[in-house]
C-alpha cells in the first residue's frame, strides 16, 4: 500500500498485488516489518497482509539531496492523511459519477438540486479537491524521501449498477450507511465534545439501520422531472452524509496539526484542513433544505424520515444557523468561542476518524486486511509526538 508513484483511481489492484510478490517488494516488506516502532504499533503485520501492496521508498536519493528529514511522527501523520484522502476521493468519485456536473440528468440529480441548485457543481468540486489532497500528500511524502500510500489493492467493492457509474472496484460502500447526524446539533450547541458533551441526531432515523446514499440501479435514478420520495430520500441521505464526511476531515486535521513538528508540515495540515472546513460549511448549509418525507427502503429494510428543518425548529436544529455557535474551549473559565470542534485527543483524532468511517458503514464488504491496515496507520499517526527544541 506504500508507493512512490501516484496511481489514478483506475483499478490496478491486480498489478499491485503482483508487484508485492516481486523480490524487491518482498524485501521492502520484510525491512519495514523489522522496524521496531512499526512492529510496536502493529503496522508491520498489516503491511505484510496478503494483498497489501508496497513499493520501496526513495530514501537513498533523498539522503543524497541533503534536505532535512521529516520526523517519524510527521511521516505517520502525512501517511494517515494520504490514506484518508484516498478514501474520501473514492467516495466522492462515486457521488460525482451519479450526482456531479457530468452525471446523467435523473431523478437523483433533480432531488440533489432540491438541496441547492448548484449541488452538482459542489459535488464535482469536492471530488476534485479530495483527489488533489491525496495526490499532493503522496507527492509531498515522496519529495521528502518518504513512502506514499497506495490503496489500489483494496479497490474491491462493487459499483452502483445505475447508468453513469463506472464499473470499477471501489474502496468504499455508499449503499449501507448508518449516518451519524449529531454534527448538525453539535455545531448549533454551546457545548463542546472535548468537554464530554454529546449531541442528539438531527435525523435520528439515518443513524439507525442502513441507508443508501446513491441509486443502486436505474430504477432508482427515476424521472428527472418528478423524482419519487424514494429517490429524494436517497439524495437527502447523501446531503447529510456529505456533512458527516467533511466534519470528520475538519476535526481530523485540526487534531493532528497539534502533533506535527515541521513548520512546513503544519502549513500543509492547516491549509488542506482549511479546505475541509470549507467543504463542511458548504454541506451544512445545504442538508437542511431536505423536504419532509418518510421512505421505506426494502433492500436495506429500513425507514428514514426527514423533517422540515427550515421553520419552527429549536436552535439546535434550525437550518439557517450555519455558523459555529460559540462554545466552551480550552477551559470552562474562558469565554465561549466559535471554533472547530472536537480538536482534542480521543475524539476525531486519526483513530477516532477511522472508527467513525467504520461505524458509518463505509467499509462494509472490505477485507479484514484493509481494516487492519487503516487502523494501524491511524495508531501510528496518533502516536506521533511534537518534537520542538
Residues of this chain that bind Fe ion (CB under 5 A): 85, 88, 130, 133, 246, 249, 276, 279
Cβ(184)–Cβ(204) below 8 Å: no
The separation between the first and the last C-alpha atoms of the chain, rounded to the nearest angstrom, is: 33
CA distance 297 to 229: 11
Strands 148-149 and 293-297: what pairing?
unpaired
Residue closer to Fe ion by CB (options 164, 249) is 249
Number of H helices, E strands in the chain: 13, 4
**Dihedral angle, C-alpha 71, 76, 77, 81, nearest 10 °:** 140
Tell me the closest approach of the beta carbon of residue 127 to Fe ion, in angstroms.
Answer: 10
Cβ(374)–Cβ(362) below 8 Å: no
Can you name the residues that pair with 293 across neighbouring β-strands? 306
Tell me the closest approach of the beta carbon of residue 280 to Fe ion, in angstroms.
Answer: 8
Q: What is the DSSP letter of 326?
A: P
Tell me the closest approach of the beta carbon of residue 100 to Fe ion, in angstroms.
Answer: 15
Tell me the closest approach of the beta carbon of residue 249 to Fe ion, in angstroms.
Answer: 4
Residue closer to Fe ion by CB (options 249, 361) is 249
Residues in the chain: 389
Residue closer to Fe ion by CB (options 133, 379) is 133
**Dihedral angle, C-alpha 367, 372, 378, 383, nearest 10 °:** 180
Tell me the closest approach of the beta carbon of residue 281 to Fe ion, in angstroms.
Answer: 12
Residue closer to Fe ion by CB (options 77, 221) is 77
Residue closer to Fe ion by CB (options 246, 360) is 246
Nearest to 80 by CA among 329, 267, 322, 355: 355
Residue closer to Fe ion by CB (options 74, 246) is 246
Tell me the closest approach of the beta carbon of residue 256 to Fe ion, in angstroms.
Answer: 13
Residue whose Cβ sits closest to Fe ion: 133
Residue closer to Fe ion by CB (options 130, 222) is 130
Contacts of 271 (CB under 8 A, 6+ apart): none
Tell me the closest approach of the beta carbon of residue 231 to Fe ion, in angstroms.
Answer: 25
Amino acid at each position: 500500500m506504500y508507493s512512490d508513484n501516484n496511481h489514478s483511481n483506475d483499478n490496478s489492484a491486480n498489478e499491485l498485488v503482483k508487484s508485492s510478490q516481486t523480490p524487491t517488494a518482498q524485501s521492502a516488506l520484510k525491512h519495514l516489518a523489522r522496524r521496531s516502532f512499526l512492529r510496536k504499533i502493529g503496522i508491520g503485520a498489516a503491511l505484510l497482509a496478503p494483498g497489501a501492496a508496497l513499493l520501496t521508498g526513495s530514501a537513498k536519493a533523498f539522503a543524497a539531496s541533503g534536505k532535512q528529514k521529516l520526523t517519524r511522527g510527521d511521516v505517520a501523520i502525512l501517511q494517515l492523511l494520504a490514506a484518508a484522502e484516498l478514501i474520501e476521493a473514492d467516495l466522492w468519485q462515486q457521488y460525482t459519477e451519479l450526482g456531479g456536473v457530468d452525471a446523467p440528468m435523473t431523478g437523483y440529480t433533480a432531488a440533489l438540486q432540491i438541496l441547492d441548485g448548484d449541488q452538482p457543481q459542489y459535488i464535482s468540486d469536492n471530488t476534485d479537491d479530495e483527489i488533489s489532497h491525496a495526490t499532493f500528500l503522496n507527492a509531498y511524502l515522496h519529495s521528502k524521501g518518504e513512502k506514499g500510500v497506495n490503496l489500489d489493492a483494496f479497490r474491491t467493492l462493487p459499483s452502483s449498477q445505475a447508468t453513469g457509474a463506472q464499473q470499477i472496484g471501489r474502496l468504499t460502500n455508499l449503499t449501507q450507511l448508518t449516518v451519524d447526524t449529531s454534527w448538525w446539533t453539535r455545531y448549533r450547541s454551546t457545548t463542546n465534545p472535548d468537554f464530554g458533551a454529546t449531541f442528539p441526531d438531527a435525523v435520528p432515523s439515518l443513524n439507525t439501520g442502513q441507508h443508501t446514499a446513491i441509486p443502486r440501479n436505474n430504477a432508482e435514478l427515476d424521472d428527472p422531472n418528478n423524482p419519487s420520495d424514494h429517490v429524494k430520500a436517497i439524495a437527502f441521505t447523501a446531503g447529510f452524509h456529505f456533512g458527516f464526511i467533511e466534519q470528520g476531515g475538519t476535526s481530523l486535521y485540526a487534531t493532528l496539526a497539534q502533533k506535527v513538528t515541521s513548520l512546513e508540515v503544519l502549513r500543509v495540515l492547516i491549509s488542506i484542513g482549511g479546505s475541509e472546513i470549507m467543504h463542511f460549511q458548504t454541506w451544512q448549509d445545504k442538508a437542511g433544505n431536505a423536504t419532509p418525507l418518510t421512505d421505506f427502503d426494502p433492500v436495506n429494510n429500513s425507514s428514514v424520515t426527514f423533517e422540515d428543518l427550515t421553520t419552527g425548529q429549536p436552535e439546535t436544529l434550525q437550518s439557517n444557523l450555519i455558523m459555529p455557535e460559540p462554545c466552551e474551549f480550552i477551559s470552562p473559565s474562558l469565554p465561549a468561542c466559535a471554533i472547530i470542534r472536537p480538536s482534542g485527543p480521543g475524539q476525531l483524532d486519526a483513530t477516532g476518524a477511522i472508527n467513525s468511517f467504520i461505524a458509518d458503514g463505509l467499509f462494509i464488504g472490505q477485507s479484514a486486511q484493509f481494516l487492519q491496515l487503516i487502523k494501524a496507520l491511524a495508531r501510528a499517526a496518533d502516536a506521533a509526538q511534537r518534537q520542538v527544541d
